[in-house]
Amino acid sequence: MTETITPVRHVESSYVVLDVQNIDTDQIIPARFLKVTDRAGLGDALFADWRYDADGSPRADFVLNRPESRGAEILVAGHNFGCGSSREHAPWALRGYGIRAVVSTRFADIFHSNALKNGLLPVTIPAEVHDLLVSWPANGSRPRLGIDVAKQLLTLPDGTEVTFPLESFSKHCLLEGVDELGYLLNAAAEIAAYEEARP
Amino acid sequence: MTSQSRAPRTLFEKVWDDHIVRPSTDSTPAVLYVDLHLVHEVTSPQAFTRLRERGLAVRRPDRTVATMDHSTPTTPRNSAGLIPISDSLAAAQLEQLARNCEDFGVELHELGADQQGIVHVIGPELGLTQPGMTIVCGDSHTSTHGAFGALAFGIGTSEVGHVLATQCLLQRKPKTMEVHVDGALRPGVTAKDIILAVIAKIGIGGGTGHVIEYTGPAIRALGMEQRMTICNMSIEGGARAGMIAPDDTTFEYVAGRPRAPHGADWDAALARWRTLPTDDGARYDRSVTISASELAPMITYGTNPGMGMSIDSPVPDPDSLADGSDRAALAKALGYMDIRPGERLLGRPVDVVFVGSCTNSRISDLRLAAGVMRGRKVAPGVRMLVVPGSQQVKRQAEAEGLHTIFRDAGAEWREAGCSMCIAMNGDALGPGQYAVSTSNRNFEGRQGKGSRTFLASPLTAAATAVRGAIADARELSDD
């Protein structure tokens, strides 16, 4: 019953900084884009209200629209990323755009859970590391980060290695491309026994 | 339960323990059984698609109930008694839910049907929501159902698929946090003011990783609809779930509802439910206390629900904050709201007043608002929408004549749904417009692109509609 999904073992990329606290899922993808029945095209709506002008043209001052941001697969964001609505459209939009990891000092619970189910790495780091990451790209350079899922290591542009927490089963699923639904389906006999035993 | 002599447990721990299909280990989370799965049109289509792709059935259609609420219009019915849908995307999404429910045998309360309404309003009113249950929905405000002593939390669409297919979720046990609300509310101060004060105190991320249990005399004194308002906004403090121990108020509310247990089943359920409250000596991982007696009506001034204050307070000054990141966040929020530090919000004009949402759209909320509106008018230039949480709430309000009070005042009386809380159904603020809303989120653009939201109670919302500017209902009563 196990479905294979693409394993996520390493991410190595330049990064973009969106140093705003409490970026809620309404900012990540506004509700008017949720009237869909699939996941296609959601990357275009990522951060729509910050990214586009009223006429739909890209705002030159928004970080994702700057030339040096092109190709970055890691987003460094402010404290408490992904708060608010449970919409899984938020990680779908980030993945659809091409982001493979978000680095922050804290993630909201539901976003964190949704991200891991979509191969999007939520990397939680201490505030002092966040401050360093925010300061580096200021001079227009394109510093790079490395993420090693197996070792739970974030490698900073200066080579410093920082460990980050990762729940053991989520880590296993990422590394092996294991699908949680398959795991639950394999528990069918225990689920039936539980149902049988209930009042 | 098994042991007679086990360690004292919290309400949360009892419900958690009771739903463990397979315990957690170092390498695997617990398999947690779900008693009730609520479904709506926005977060379910991709989950049903996944079931189809894998040839799976819904394991327990009898534990699954769907409604239409988020993208549904709330405009009046046509001559045929139907609610017309002009948005083709919304129509397609609603049709997809209907098809999914048909194909998978799931009970559906369709747009305009007798029991249709906001998912977190109909669950309790049908008696589906019961003490001691685990309840999930692809919606963060599922925390609402915790008011009954259920463990209820929002999930993403992948997890909606997991529950549809297996009736279970993989979960690590969260921590517990007690929010003790001491004292008694003063007149004109409501449950909404309590929860806005709690979130202002713990912060928008303060409950992350925790399940909150609300305790104390001020909580015990609340009716069920007020308890739902409190638990509803737990997620705005970062907690996936908020719970209140069931008591006679709870049992009285549940008794006799269509889907509640009846007869001998009721007696057995009641005996079980009475064992749920937290044991003496049980420990929470964290505790905070607030005093209800000191609370005034609350209002938010910024762009997240943690940015709240007493309605007569000055707006905080970013320069007064020690942390640079907090300072930047507050300055950004005030810039978006176009509010000056130190400003008083009382008397500030608004464009729209919205009474509705899963936070404050139940009959008692509408009664509070109507009590203020009776014999008064909505101020010129202000638009007021009153959106009942369900068709049942709408019928009850109309039976009591509340709709006439609202209409006579010049407010719009709408069909049931989420409406302007999430603004994906056409009910939206224009860019730059201000609203006082009884809903739960004041994020940038939440009520429409460029919208600016002040969150407050139904009393404050109604008083604001009358004055045309932010008002304290306690002062209005002297008019």
Helix (H, G, I), strand (E, B) or coil at B69: coil
Contacts of B36 in chain A (CB under 8 A): none
Contact B370, B460 (CB under 8 A): no
Distance CA B89, CA A173 (A): 35
* pLDDT of the residue at A1: 40
How far is CA A159 from each of CA A144, A147, A156, A199, B199, rounded to the nearest angstrom? Answer: 10, 12, 5, 58, 40
Of the candidates A161, A178, A160, the one whose C-alpha atom is nearest the C-alpha of residue A169 is: A178
* pLDDT of the residue at A2: 46
Contact B139, A84 (CB under 8 A): no
Contacts of A36 in chain B (CB under 8 A): 45, 89, 93
Residue A33, pLDDT > 80, answer: yes
User: Which candidate from A31, A83, A118 shows the least CB-CB separation from B205?
Assistant: A83
Nearest residue in chain B measured CA to CA from A192: B21
Q: How confident is the model at residue A136 (pLDDT cuts 50, 70, 90)?
A: confident
With an 8 Å Cβ cutoff, are A87 and B43 in contact? yes
Q: Over the stretch B270-325, which tens digit does the pLDDT of each residue have?
A: 999 999 999 999 999 999 999 999 999 999 999 999 999 999 999 999 999 999 99
B105: left (phi over 0), alpha (psi -120 to 50) or beta: left
- Helical pair B391-399 and B119-126, crossing angle rounded to 10 deg: 70
User: Which candidate from A26, A117, A183 shows the least CB-CB separation from B158?
Assistant: A117
At residue B320, what are phi and psi to the nearest 5 degrees? -80, -5
Contacts of B172 in chain A (CB under 8 A): 167
Nearest residue in chain B measured CA to CA from A85: B140
Q: What is the DSSP string of B386-447?
A: E--SBHHHHHHHHHTTHHHHHHHHT-EE--SSSGGGTT-SS--PPTT-EEEESSS---TTTT
Q: How confident is the model at residue A4 (pLDDT cuts 50, 70, 90)?
A: low
User: Which candidate from B158, B172, B431 shows the least CB-CB separation from A167?
Assistant: B172
With an 8 Å Cβ cutoff, are B208 and A180 in contact? no
How many helices and strands (H and E) does chain B possess?
16, 19
User: Which candidate from A32, A86, A172 shows the least CB-CB separation from B155?
Assistant: A86
- Helical pair B363-373 and B458-467, crossing angle rounded to 10 deg: 30
How far is CA B453 from each of CA A123, B151, B418, B443, rounded to the nearest angstrom? Answer: 32, 30, 16, 8
Of the candidates A137, A131, A161, A136, the one whose C-alpha atom is nearest the C-alpha of residue A148 is: A161
Q: String of b and e for B171-199 (b: at least 16 CB within 10 Å)?
A: bebbebbbbbbebebeebbbbbbbbbbbb
* pLDDT of the residue at A138: 63
Joined tokens for residue B199: 């979130």
Residue A11, pLDDT > 90, answer: yes
Distance CA B457, CA A40 (A): 39
Contact B206, B67 (CB under 8 A): no
- H/E stretch holding B289 reads strand B286-291
Lookup result for tokens 């206390």: B289
> Taken in order B377, B380, B382, B388, is the CA torsion positive or negative?
positive
* pLDDT of the residue at B292: 98
With an 8 Å Cβ cutoff, are A106 and B89 in contact? no
Q: Which distant-in-sequence residues (6+ apart) come within 8 Å of A11 by Cβ?
A: A73, A74, A100, A101, A121, A145, A146, A147
Mean pLDDT of chain A: 94
Mean pLDDT by 10 residues, chain B (479 residues): 73 98 98 98 97 98 98 94 94 97 98 97 98 98 98 98 98 98 98 98 98 98 98 98 98 98 98 98 98 98 98 97 93 98 98 98 98 98 98 98 98 97 96 98 98 98 98 81
With an 8 Å Cβ cutoff, are B304 and A22 in contact? yes
* pLDDT of the residue at B270: 98
User: Which candidate from B45, B170, B272 shows the least CB-CB separation from A180?
Assistant: B170
As to burial, measured by CB atoms within 10 angstroms (0-12 exposed, 13-18 middle, 19+ buried), residue B428 is buried
Q: How confident is the model at residue A3 (pLDDT cuts 50, 70, 90)?
A: low
Residue A75, pLDDT > 60, answer: yes
CB pairs under 8 A between A and B: 181
* pLDDT of the residue at A142: 87
Average pLDDT of span A133-161: 90
Helix (H, G, I), strand (E, B) or coil at B141: helix
Contact B321, B402 (CB under 8 A): no
Residue A86, pLDDT > 70, answer: yes
Contacts of A172 in chain B (CB under 8 A): 27
Of the candidates A4, A171, A22, the one whose C-alpha atom is nearest the C-alpha of residue A111 is: A22
Contacts of B173 in chain A (CB under 8 A): none
B108, HSE (Cβ side, Cα atoms, 13 Å):
21
Strand partners, A102: A75, A122
With an 8 Å Cβ cutoff, are A184 and B329 in contact? no
Distance CA B288, CA B30 (A): 28
Residue A116, pLDDT > 50, answer: yes
Distance CA B142, CA A192 (A): 26
* pLDDT of the residue at B4: 54
Joined tokens for residue B356: 């509705």
Going by CATH, does the domain composed of A10-197 fall within 3.20.19.10? yes
